[in-house]
Amino acid sequence: MLLPLVFIESEEGRLRFIRLGWFLLALIAGYFYLNYLILIPKLLFRKKTFRYILSLLIGLSIIIFLTLTYLHFLETEVYHRPHHHHFFNRFAFVPITPALVAFAVSSIIRVMREWFLAEKQKTEMEAEKLMAELAFLKSQINPHFLFNILNNICSLARKKSDDTENAIIKLSHIMRYMLQDSQNEKVNLGKEIEYLQNYIELQRMRISEQVNIRFTMEGEIETILIEPLLLIPFVENAFKHGISYLENSEIEIDLKVVKNMLSIMVANRIIKQSKETFPPESGIGLKNVLRRLELLYPEKHSISINDNGEKYQVELQIQF
């Protein structure tokens, strides 16, 4: 609004511009905030389009009328010049351009502000939905593991095994991890692996010596933070469907950490009898972990499942 002052050379011209400019600036500012604070939220956002356009036109007409009235005052009372209709007809278009600029800028800012607020609210709602879904998936996993482990200890007790006390101690470590550490958003990978080892040791106590279990680790596991209870469903699935008391069985677990990449491979020989031992809904842990991976690591994980009828192998990679 003040830029033309740079190009006005005469002192009288500058004074005339300032006297008109401050008044017009006040009108345009009022038009700006009228549109920004009242017309857009009260009319446009409520789909009262006709009333919105009518209000804009009325506001513009008022600006033109007040500008011409003020010009009449300046010409007659301040400069003591006679009234010229051609002069006022020419100056009637002066406030239109800045008024249109004020309308455009206020509309753009208000619409963008509402859009950003809507996106922020949408993001917060999606985050809350994600946390609720993850909490639900985790709540499904915990009782499932506990049920299987209690069955293992029950089998040892029936055999009056000396390993029963050791199994109960390991169960206490597992329950502490499930009830305390698993409530954290992330845990150290070492704790997750310790949980896997306790689970595997409990399984060793109840299965036949004909089952060969190989668990290898490689890399700096202490440098990785991971969501709790994310790896155990793959291991549990291998024990469910890869153990037989009548024939040799083998379970292979290979875990590697290379830089910021975690890789885990779990493979087991497919035992047909084991599939009949567990009901169809017992695989809920594996389904849940696949869903959790989609939610927690979108486009940052890859998983391949190979089932050739004799061997079942899962390979998971997560980029941290």
Cα(266)–Cα(255) distance, integer angstroms: 9
The whole-number pLDDT of residue 275 equals: 45
Domain boundaries, the chain: 3-94, 127-319
Which of 215, 214, 276, 217 has the alpha carbon at shortest distance from 250? 214
Would you say the pTM of this structure is higher than 0.75? no
Residue 175's contacts (CB-CB under 8 Å, 6 or more residues apart) are 146
Question: Which residue shows structure tokens 């007409």?
Answer: 61
Give the domain 127-319 fold: Heat Shock Protein 90 (3.30.565)
Backbone phi and psi for residue 89, each to the nearest 5 degrees, phi listed first: -65, -35
Report the helix count and the strand count for the chain, using DSSP H and E. Answer: 9, 7
- CB count in 10 Å sphere of residue 129: 11
For 50, what's the count of Cα atoms within 13 Å in the CB-facing half-sphere?
0
- CB count in 10 Å sphere of residue 320: 16
| Residues 196-250 pLDDT 10s | 998 888 888 777 677 889 999 998 888 889 988 889 888 888 888 888 777 778 8
> What are the structure tokens assigned to 123, written together?
């993001």
Residue 222's contacts (CB-CB under 8 Å, 6 or more residues apart) are 188, 189, 190
DSSP state of 223: G
Question: Which residue shows structure tokens 């875990």?
Answer: 255
The whole-number pLDDT of residue 314 equals: 94
> What are the structure tokens assigned to 228, written together?
């709790």
Task: For the chain, list residues with pLDDT below 70.
Answer: 1-2, 4-5, 13, 75, 77-92, 128-129, 132-145, 148, 208, 272-285
The whole-number pLDDT of residue 32 equals: 94
In sequence order, the β-bridge partners of residue 268 are 251, 312
Residue 133's contacts (CB-CB under 8 Å, 6 or more residues apart) are 291, 295
The whole-number pLDDT of residue 70 equals: 82
The whole-number pLDDT of residue 24 equals: 86
**Would you call 222 helix, strand, or coil by DSSP?**
helix
The whole-number pLDDT of residue 273 equals: 57
DSSP state of 189: H
**What region does 182 belong to: left with phi over 0, alpha with psi -120 to 50, or beta?**
alpha
